[in-house]
Chains A and B, each alone.
Chain A
Amino acid sequence: MNPRLSRRTAAKGLATALAAPLALGACARDKTDHPTSVTRAQIDEAMRTPTEITFWTWVPGIEQEIALFEQAYPAIKVNLVNAGQGASHYAKLRTALRAINGAPDVAQLEFQMIQSFAITDDLLDLRPYAMEGLEDRFVDFAWSQSTGTGGEIWAIPQDTGPMGMLYRTDIFEAHGIEVPETWDDFAAAAEALHEADPEVFLTNLAPSQGAFFAAMLWQAGSDPFAGSDGADLRVDLTSETASKVAAYWGDLAGRGLVSTDADFNDQWYQALNRGKYATWVAPAWAPTFLTTAAASTSGKWRVAPLPQWDAGAPPVSSNWGGSTSAVMATTDKEIPAAVFAQFINTDRESTETMAFDQFLYPPTTALLEDPEFTGQELEFYGGQEVNGLFAEISDTVSPDFQWSPFQDQVYADFTETVGTAFTQRTDAVAAMGEWQDRITEYAEYQGFEVTES
């Protein structure tokens, strides 16, 4: 190949590629104007008009709830699309929302992502379509997570994850360890267990699990993004409370008393099955998850409430995971979409199917007070009434916790600052400052007015 010629022609090709602008808009968002009030008659009429709506979700078996809806509203047909879970679901959703068509009418959104989609005006405010007494059907924290600072209803809660602690009775008994009720007890137990058997850790602190760490901040009373509203972002990850949480976990990791393995991978499944971790500090969906992910350990686990910071005060918990149904602002079928989002998450039969068949932990007060649900004895947990315990915990979750408007970036930055400090055994409190700096820098680049405190 002749270098002289190839250089010239290649450079020419590249110049062409770089220079020619296309007569296409940089952004193709197309938001329909939506009514601010809707009458009962309009809703009835829309629900009688044959319409197809598209619903993106990853929940297996949700066809059952869709069938119930289609039974109640035979004119409406729901197209179910499983666009993947977590990151791939959101990547697709964001891409489709930018195109002219292809976006769903209703989509599954986790609680922490609601603000991230609201900030880009991608969610439809459901207030005009809300049924009477909607708010009262849900536990407080689930409702407050689904609404905006101006009272907007961004989404309808579907399932939650109030935090508890799953533990291995066999390991606890073998080493004579009591179930810890406070975080001080927990640290002492970690030390005792590690001394008794260096191969086993009281728990695993996953360095990339920002959601777990957020739940820890939440329980302790730290609310780092409180007061943020639209373009005005407040961030406080260096408060006394936040530092206390970081110092606590940083200390356990630094002394090697807890392991710091990445979670939800093969290695971690192996560790759960082979008894490397004596507890999993985890939410209400974890019990079902373990039943398949750690099938070989059936009967060895029990569930206890989340350890507390203050032994004397009333117990406090927080939430990790869970999700909602949200209507996209791009839809032109607002009424059927909004009715659908409410129906599957409030209808008695539909919510019961979710709780009993799909094992989604319910946010509705009706189910959380239903003895048939709370009294279920789970064999995997030695017949313990796990649902009932989490129903009590659910009541103790503080409703005061606000998510950032770019939560995926916040989690990514967590891994690279605080998470890394855990694995490298460096100063976790200092890493909190670094985390805050990164968030500030990013937010300013994205056009936010940032107030650090």
Chain B
Amino acid sequence: MTAETTIKRPRAGRIKGGRRTILTIGMLAAAAYFLLPLFWVLVASSKTSADLFSTFGLWFSGDFALFDNIGETVTYDGNVFLRWMGNTLLYAVTAAGGGALLASLAGYGFAKYRFKGNRAMFMTVLGAVMVPTTALAIPTYLLFSRLGLADTPWAIILPSLINPFGLFLMTVYVQSAVPDSLLEAGRIDGAGEFRIFFQVTLRLLAPGFATVLLFTLVNTWNNYFLPLIMLNDPDLYPITVGLARWQGQAAAAGGASGDLVPLVITGSLLSVIPLIIAFLFLQRYWQSGLVTGAVKQ
């Protein structure tokens, strides 16, 4: 199901094919710019470490070592890479699902209900993101440590559930995509507020929900600083901290260094693949059919 077949929109037929081709070429050029780095990662993943630093970076040369590199990445240090991937998957999926749900509930609450402190709370959330947290890691760690959360998976999952950006987005979304008439209709039918939300509203929010889900997923997936400070146990590491650890070992000044640079690059390539799959999967929810169909009911 492509976007083109589902949308009943005025287009194509009346446009000259030439303009369409120019637009397509332009967009493909843009795509090439955005893909270039990924291509570099792919090329670099296919090289041995000897070739990596002595051959032209943007084309394949020397031995094609992609599969050797993948094999070595996965099996290095007792399959620890797979363990890190599994951890990341656990943290990211839990945080993304929970975070998107919390943001949807709260966004809906802020957008559609009037209650005391509504705006104050909303603005506090927004105000809080304005303070950068990189330098505040130490107070945060001391507090988490007191709560017994440091060095547990909760230290990563719980803070990732809060996505102020997601809240903001969902609030805007509810305002644009959920007509009051629909809620009134639900109430006239005698449905409770939560039933209305889960049975009627949530479906309308699919594109917004999918967007917040995707962003929280990517954020948690690429989260580096928080797990670095919070986690001591390497068995709990997500992939970013694990790769950085290899990277540190590879660039080790002052100690023995393993042959790890190709592993870091290959590991990065592998770690991006699940995100691409998630993106492709979630794309489905941006098709407009879902939204417009529901409104018409």
Contacts and interface: CB of A to CB of B under 8 A. Distances in A.
Whether chain A touches chain B in the assembled complex (some CB pair under 8 Å): yes
Interface of A: 5-6, 9-10, 12-14, 16-17, 24, 28, 56, 58-61, 81-86, 88, 91-92, 95-96, 98-102, 110, 159, 161, 211, 264-266, 269-270, 272-274, 285, 288-289, 292-296, 320-323, 358-360
A10 B53 contact: no
B142 A98 contact: yes
A266 B54 CA distance: 11
Contact of B53 (A110, A288, A296): A296
Contacts of A274: 53-54
Interface residues of B, number: 43
B44 to A, nearest CB: 10
A364 to B, nearest CB: 17
5 contacts: A5-B119, A58-B245, A60-B255, A265-B251, A274-B53
Given A17-B124, A58-B252, 19 more contacts: A5-B119, A10-B126, A13-B124, A59-B255, A59-B256, A84-B241, A84-B248, A85-B249, A86-B248, A98-B138, A99-B150, A110-B254, A161-B254, A285-B254, A285-B256, A289-B252, A296-B50, A321-B255, A360-B256
Contacts of A272: 53
Nearest to B48: A295
A30 B60 CA distance: 56
B253 A264 contact: yes
Contacts of B228: 84, 88, 91-92
A274 B124 CA distance: 55
Interface string B55-78: 000000000000000000000000
A407 to B, nearest CB: 14
Contacts of A161: 254
Contacts of A61: 256
Nearest to A264: B251
Given A17-B127, A92-B229, A95-B141, A296 B54 contact: yes
A293 B229 CA distance: 29
Contacts of A14: 127
A289 B150 contact: no
A183 to B, nearest CB: 23
B256 A358 contact: yes
Contact of A294 (B53, B126, B251, B259): B53
Nearest to B242: A82
B233 interface: yes
Given A6-B123, A285-B256, A292-B259, A99 B145 contact: yes
Interface string B228-265: 11001110000001001100110111111111010000
Contacts of A9: 119-120, 122-124
